Structure 1
Amino acid sequence: MHNPTQKHHRKDPISRRHISWCCSFSDPTRSPENPKPISKQPISSYPNSPKPPSLRNRILSPGRVSPVDPVGQQPKTHVMPVELEMPRLPLEPVSVCKGGEDGFGVFDVRLSLKGRNGGSVVLELSSEVLSGSSCVFADLIAKYRAGCEGGGGSFCRIEVPEVENLSVFQMTIELMFEEDLIKRLMKIGVYRAIDVLEVSAGISFKKGITSCLEYLEAVPWSEDEEEKLKTLFSKFKLNNSISKDILARLYPLDSADSQQTLANQLIWSITTCIDANSRNELKSLVKGLLCKSSVYEKGYPDVNKEEVYAVCRSCIDALVNLFEDASGSDQCGRSGKNEGGKTLIECISMQVDNINWLLEILLDWQMAEDFVTIWVNQGELLCMHERTSPMVRYELSRVSAMLFIVMGTRKLQCASEARLGLLDAWFGPMLLDFGWLQRCKKGLDIKVLEEAMGHLLLTLPLKHQYTLFMEWFRCFSRHGTECPNLSKSFQIWWRRSFLRGSESNAVESR
């Protein structure tokens, strides 16, 4: 009978009404509040409690909680090995004892769960429900009854040692007595449902397996839950149509080549995106995915260098065409609009953004050396730079600025010929465009650019440093702050070229 004071047992009257099992440890301690043993306590257990000394004795009772026989009157027992595919929750030796002749009824199995880290739970269950739910327990009970006197009326005791999570194992056993398993799983959530699925698979609880799979397939997962599912499916092979749907969510069916092709398609799509806000958002997204340090990089194929450079050349070709149009426009780059309603200035800025974004990807994968050579050889753009409005041409110096920064801050190493070629081609245009770069920074750090330009100049042979530093000196004397301030680097060049030179001559004269 239900105890009316235990209100928590009334929460689910439909599912609990027909449950024919209970849990107990031993005879409860008598007290004024508890004058005699309670005969029935449905759905109750005592997890993580130490085993009372009295449990080493034989338990005989017509009720759910039994008085203890005197010490020394132990029943005959046998030990049966159990083979169970459950790495963390093994059913090892099982001891069974005969008893329960005094009206024990359907509660004819005592299941003792022993925690790996201490604690225990004892469940008294119906062999009919237990056998009908799990073929592992059905085999244990059948073997016991076949080897015991008294046949099917005998009381069976099963011990499960080394249980990693007592509450999960107990919850899985409870589900055998539930009418609506999905409803119960919805209450416990995905993470715990995966634990229940693992126990169900270990004890061959087919209804539990099916219900867990149905629930997990229908709900979203977090990344931690996804990794937990992958670990579970690596341990157990669940031949179920629902498990195939879950595996289809866990593992891509396409090959690595298909993933690489998709990455290339994303890059091409972004460089042709019209809306500026969407393009910037997608650039950040894809760059994060393709970044070598990304959490999503695990096992993914490398970025295809040829494909990225093909996109770079396409953007540069588009830039050349746009500058040809700008050269014949109203010198402000505003005349005419393309199919997307963008002006020449907007289109040029978009292509420069694309080129710098691709350069960032190449830098991350240490494949940007060839881009320096490509940019050095843009003679057509250099010619058009001279005859194009400053408010348009300064966009070209945004690409040069990025190269100066990554080379001057040691993020990109190139041969002396490449460094010299870059400065010979684009140092002069940079001096002319610096004022516009200051006014239209677009994320550019001017101080970093000035320092990087000076450091890069100092990597050249001294005679080339002389030519470029003198060009800067003349420009700075005429335009002042409209020109980059390379004073610190100029001083270093002066000391290296003249002061140290005089010292070396003095040494030679001696």
Structure 2
Amino acid sequence: MDKAGETKPCKLGDRSTSDVTVCLKNCEGRPEYFYSHSSILANKSKFFADLLSNPNSGASVEIYCSEFNYDHHVSFLKFMYLPEDSVLNSFESVKSAIGILEVSVALKCEEITKSCIQYLEAVPWEDKEEEEIIKAVSKLGPVAVPVLARIQPVDVSATKNVFIAAVRYATNTGGSCPPFGDELKISAQEQVEYMLGEDEETPLVTADEEVKSVVRMGLSHIFSLFQKQLSSLLLESDLTSEALERNVMQYVSDLEWMCNILPKMELMKDFVSNWAELSGNVVGILEDKKVDSVLWGVKVKLIEVTGKALEAVGYGNVILPAPSRVQLLKTWLPYIRKMKPLLDSKGIEDASFTHRMNEDLCQSIEGAIVSFILALPSNDQADILADWMEADQVRYPDLSEAFEVWCYRTKSAKRRLVEGLNRIDNPTVSL
């Protein structure tokens, strides 16, 4: 029995103390009645306060809701009876918090709205949930600031700082290396590529001279490590070690990653210039007797990297002096021409041999080389084409298109020369 003068606490659904009934109806017309208390409803919700202040409101309030937010309305009513400090611990999920927030905003309950915002600001979201959160809070004004602070775009300066830090980590140029493995470095490389995706801030970041300087420093560092690792192969006693091949492949993969990000920053020329300078030494090591029959995966990957350099120059994205272009092509063309049939034959002999130049790679390299050749001086074109026709392997790369164009241009050039000489010998006399 209650002591005299002690007030019995109100509970949702307590018919003995209820003075108003809330009826929830969904679109199907299914009603559910909640025995409530006007003092609590009016105190916590302006919607109920305004409604119940009307003398004609009666003892029952009907609220229409959809089948999708019906449960959120029920949860909202229950929350109204909780102490303010207990609401935060009562949310079941981000989805329920979003639904209750929408109901709370519609029914003008400031206390529960703030609790929803506080909960959403503090818990992790999934991508789909974030879109729903933005939709729910975008029109709430200052109360939604804590949530919006998590999703608003950072300024260019902050983006630049994060990008620089990621590049330094991805290229191991950030000073002392934290105790993480290659997985985090790979993750950093992936995020750098993602940050270079097309958006409004990307051009502002990539055009920054400090950013370019850091990227160039990273490229130089990767090239230096690659050179040292490749040169050290000639000092190794056992080149069949899988660990050794993995070490070399790591640096080659870093170079390939650089080929992916540099064009987006208009820095591919830095890569190609370095690659052209190193190519003679690289091919020399690859053709050394010690390396001749091992490291097939590394060799294929280096051909892929070279293909990116050939494409950049061949299609005019990187402009190099003619002597540098000729040297780059003359260094790699014989090696690629030799490796293609060799890799194919090893694959035929051994089904488990997986290091092949796939069709896409072959076509992209062949197309780049043809375009590359046609942009060279005519005499250099003639030297390369003559060497191609005299070689044992003329099927790949197929340079017949370049040869046909060269022949046509040569005849056209001779015709223009003869016509020019005739005009000199027989000048037109005009009166």
Superposition TM-score, scaled by structure 2 size: 0.66
1:351 aligns with 2:257: no
Amino acid at match of 1:133: K
Matched residue SS, 2:171: helix
State the shift of 1:484 in Å: 2.7
CA distance in 1, matches of 2:168, 2:12: 53
Q: Pairwise mapping of residues 33-432 of structure 1 onto structure 2 (< 5 A)? A: 44-48=23-27, 126-135=37-46, 137-138=48-49, 174-175=77-78, 186=92, 190-191=94-95, 193-201=97-105, 203-213=107-117, 216=120, 220-236=124-140, 244=146, 249-250=150-151, 255-269=158-172, 278=183, 282=187, 285-286=190-191, 288-293=193-198, 299=201, 302-303=205-206, 304-329=211-236, 334=239, 342-343=243-244, 345-378=245-278, 381=281, 384-385=284-285, 388-389=288-289, 391=292, 394=299, 396-408=302-314, 410=315, 413-415=317-319, 417-418=320-321, 420-432=323-335
State the shift of 1:185 in Å: 5.2
CA distance in 1, matches of 2:307, 2:380: 20
CA distance in 2, matches of 1:288, 1:364: 9
CA distance in 1, matches of 2:101, 2:70: 14
**Counterpart residue number, 2:426:** none
Of 400, 406, 410 in structure 2, the residue corresponding to residue 497 of structure 1 is 410
Residues 469, 490 of structure 1: 8 Å contact kept: yes
Residues 352, 396 of structure 1: 8 Å contact kept: yes
Cα distance change of structure 1 residues 479 and 253 upon mapping to structure 2, 3 Å threshold: closer
State the shift of 1:312 in Å: 1.5
RMSD across aligned C-alpha pairs, in angstroms?
Answer: 5.0
CA distance in 2, matches of 1:480, 1:253: 55
CA distance in 1, matches of 2:62, 2:196: 52
Cα distance change of structure 1 residues 347 and 400 upon mapping to structure 2, 3 Å threshold: same
CA distance in 2, matches of 1:501, 1:219: 73
Amino acid at match of 2:39: E
Amino acid at match of 1:403: A
Amino acid at match of 1:222: E
Cα distance change of structure 1 residues 318 and 291 upon mapping to structure 2, 3 Å threshold: same
Superposition TM-score, scaled by structure 1 size: 0.58
Cα distance change of structure 1 residues 494 and 270 upon mapping to structure 2, 3 Å threshold: farther
State the shift of 1:139 in Å: 6.6
State the shift of 1:463 in Å: 2.6
Matched residue SS, 1:414: coil
CA distance in 2, matches of 1:437, 1:356: 20
State the shift of 1:207 in Å: 4.3
Residues 44, 110 of structure 2: 8 Å contact kept: yes
Structure 2: tracts of 5 or more residues without a match:
1-10, 344-354, 424-431
CA distance in 1, matches of 2:375, 2:192: 31
Matched residue SS, 2:243: coil
Amino acid at match of 1:286: Q
CA distance in 1, matches of 2:77, 2:19: 9
State the shift of 1:453 in Å: 0.6
State the shift of 1:172 in Å: 7.3
In percent, how many aligned pairs have the same letter?
Answer: 17
Structure 1: tracts of 5 or more residues without a match:
1-13, 24-42, 51-120, 149-153
CA distance in 1, matches of 2:94, 2:149: 18
Residues 283, 357 of structure 1: 8 Å contact kept: no
**Counterpart residue number, 2:401:** 488
Residues 172, 196 of structure 1: 8 Å contact kept: yes
Residues 24, 33 of structure 2: 8 Å contact kept: yes
The structure richer in helix per residue is 2
Amino acid at match of 1:308: V
Amino acid at match of 1:325: S
Residues 326, 376 of structure 2: 8 Å contact kept: no
Matched residue SS, 1:463: helix
**Counterpart residue number, 1:16:** 13
Amino acid at match of 1:197: L
CA distance in 2, matches of 1:261, 1:21: 64
State the shift of 1:413 in Å: 1.5
Of 456, 462, 478 in structure 1, the residue corresponding to residue 378 of structure 2 is 462
CA distance in 2, matches of 1:172, 1:258: 44
CA distance in 1, matches of 2:243, 2:106: 63
Residues 20, 61 of structure 2: 8 Å contact kept: no
Matched residue SS, 1:377: helix
Amino acid at match of 1:423: V
State the shift of 1:256 in Å: 2.5
Residues 420, 460 of structure 1: 8 Å contact kept: no
The number of residue pairs the alignment matches comes to 378
State the shift of 1:308 in Å: 2.1
Further displaced range: 417-426 or 385-394:
385-394
1:226-262 CA-partner distances (Å, limit 9, x unpaired): 133245444335669xx85x56754688932432233
CA distance in 1, matches of 2:72, 2:226: 66
State the shift of 1:326 in Å: 2.9
CA distance in 2, matches of 1:400, 1:276: 28
**Counterpart residue number, 1:472:** 388
CA distance in 2, matches of 1:274, 1:423: 45
Cα distance change of structure 1 residues 260 and 375 upon mapping to structure 2, 3 Å threshold: same
Matched residue SS, 1:342: helix
1:319-374 CA-partner distances (Å, limit 9, x unpaired): 222233234456xx718x8xxx832x443332222112111111234431232222
Residues 14, 35 of structure 2: 8 Å contact kept: no
Matched residue SS, 2:162: helix
Amino acid at match of 1:413: N
Matched residue SS, 1:378: helix
CA distance in 2, matches of 1:454, 1:352: 25
State the shift of 1:470 in Å: 2.2
CA distance in 2, matches of 1:430, 1:464: 14
CA distance in 2, matches of 1:441, 1:183: 59
Cα distance change of structure 1 residues 276 and 387 upon mapping to structure 2, 3 Å threshold: farther
CA distance in 2, matches of 1:21, 1:299: 58
